Structure formats: structure tokens, C-alpha cells
Amino acid sequence: MIYTILTILGTLWALWYFYLIVMGLYRAQLMGTLTQSAKILGAPALVVGWLLDWLINMTLATVFFCELPRSPLELVTQRLSRYIAGPTCINKHYAQIICLHLLDPFDHSGKHCK
């Protein structure tokens, strides 16, 4: 049981970690400072991060939010944004907390889950 909990927490941490890497690359791209070398070195993080995001949305997020994804390629942010834009419910509350504390501070616009 403890290994399952640690695996889940580690997977969620890894997703957030890849999010930070990708947001850093995106911010550099917007500022015009992203070099070709950084693009090449950062590309695997983008691919792995996207796959991890998709996998978590299909599994852990489905269990946590008690709802299947709306589309086969939906990612966690799309799910969170949908909940925030929707009617008041417990999922909206959780989505707002996740976005406010873990995602928005690292997005260049300050509002990752629009």
C-alpha cells in the first residue's frame, strides 16, 4: 500500500517537474532567448512530459475526479480548465486549488488554467 501511494505521489511530482521544465522553455521562446541547443536538449522533456500528462489524465485524474476524459487526447490542464469554466462543484474547487498553487505561478501569463 505504501509503495502504491509513493508511486502515485512520485508520478504527480514528475508531471509537475516536467511542467516546470516545459514552462521554462516556453518562457525562453517567448523572450527570444531559446537557443537551438536548448530546443534539442529540451525536446525529450516536452515529449516525456506530454506522455506523462496524457497518462495521468487517463488514470489518476480519472479516478481523482470520478470522470472519464472528454476526448482521447485531453490533458490534465484541459480537464482543469473545463472544471474551472463549469458550474460550481467539488471538482471545480480542486481544479482552482491545483491551478492557483501549482500551475499559475509558473505560467508566463500567470493564468495557466484559463
CA torsion angle 102 35 40 48 (round to 10): 10
Cα–Cα distances in Å, from 5 out to 8, 18, 51? 5, 20, 21
Model pLDDT, residue 3: 96
Q: What is the pLDDT of residue 32?
A: 97
pLDDT at 37: 97
Q: For position 114, what pLDDT does the model report?
A: 79
Looking at residue 49, what is its pLDDT? 97
Cα separation of 72 and 67, whole Å?
A: 13
Look-up of cell digits 502504491: 4
- Average of per-residue pLDDT values in the chain: 96
pLDDT in tens, 70-90: 999 999 999 999 999 999 999
Weakly modelled stretches of the chain, pLDDT under 70 = none
Residue 78 and residue 114 in contact, taking contact as beta carbons nearer than 8 Å: no
Q: Where are the domains of the chain?
A: 2-106
